Amino acid sequence: MKIAEKSIAEDELYSLALAVIDSINDTIAASFKNDFPEAELLQKRRLKPLLLPITECIPHISNTSESTIALVDSIKKSYQKQQWRQPYSIEDFGSDFFHKSAWFPIADVNGPLVYPDGLMEIMLMGPGLTYPKHKHEPEELYIVLSGKVWWETEKDGETPCWKKAGEAIYHAPNQVHAITSGDEPVLVLNLWRGGGFQIPKII
């Protein structure tokens, strides 16, 4: 019974995340969405829940958008059942980043939905936090779910700029990028394709 309940939570997050991608009306987002298989086709794996101190802010998260509020509500409902991760060490980006950022997987090579060809995860950043310059081989789509981020990247005429809930950020393979959260916690839907999980290269 418990396994069935957990599967429902994962499937709900997965389908709500796909609906958020769908709300971004452009060809790149559409192609990311089309690459994700039906949830029924993905193997399920039971992960042990793991909370990190920064996740305590999740019940107070606000400033969503019409297109992201359903996913944020589902995250608020299920965040204590998720396996939150901090893939970086203090040496990578410092103590502040280490303690005030966290991720949990919806679908990836090690996720509750096993998906080896890409990644769908939720990123949490505390207020006023910089995720410094980094790059990685997989293509990436971020969709801001709540709050706003200051986006900086190379090879792009429109940055630096703010991206708020409901707006997307795209990075080509190995495009250097950085984001800084505004004055409130931020949730971001983070998608990769073209390779399983790897620790990004720090610039």
- Dihedral, 109, 114, 118, 122 alpha carbons, nearest 10: -90
Q: How many residues bind Fe ion (CB under 5 A)?
A: 1
Please say which residue, 140 or 167, places its beta carbon nearer to Fe ion: 140
Answer yes or no: are the C-beta atoms of 129 and 197 closer than 8 Å. Answer: no
Binding mask 81-120 for Fe ion (x = CB under 5 A): ----------------------------------------
Q: Shortest distance, CB of residue 156 to Fe ion, whole angstroms?
A: 14
| 133 and 203 Cβ atoms separated by less than 8 Å | yes
Nearest distance, CB of residue 171 and Fe ion, angstroms = 6
151 dihedral zone (left: phi>0; alpha: psi -120 to 50; beta): beta
* Cβ partners under 8 Å of residue 55, min gap 6: 79, 80, 84, 102, 124
Using Cβ positions, the residue closest to Fe ion within the complex turns out to be 140
Residue whose CB is less far from Fe ion, 39 or 125: 125
Closest separation in Å from C-beta 5 to Fe ion: 32
163 vs 182: CA distance, rounded Å:
10
Instruction: Work out how close the CB of 193 gets to Fe ion at its nearest, in angstroms, rounded to a whole number.
Output: 12
Instruction: Report in angstroms how near the CB of residue 113 gets to Fe ion at its nearest.
Output: 21
CA distance 26 to 175: 20
Cβ proximity to Fe ion: between 36 and 197 the closer is: 197
String marking each residue 118-157 x if it binds Fe ion according to CB under 5 A: ----------------------x-----------------
Q: What share of the chain is helix, strand, coil (3-state, %, to 5)?
A: 30, 35, 35
Cα 43 to Cα 13: distance, rounded to the nearest angstrom = 15
Of the pair 70, 132, the CB lying nearest Fe ion is at: 132
Of the two residues 82 and 190, which places its CB atom closer to Fe ion in the complex?
A: 190
Cβ 184 to Fe ion, closest distance in Å?
21
54 phi-psi bin (left φ>0, alpha ψ -120 to 50, beta other): alpha
Q: Catalog residues that contact Fe ion under the rule CB under 5 A.
A: 140
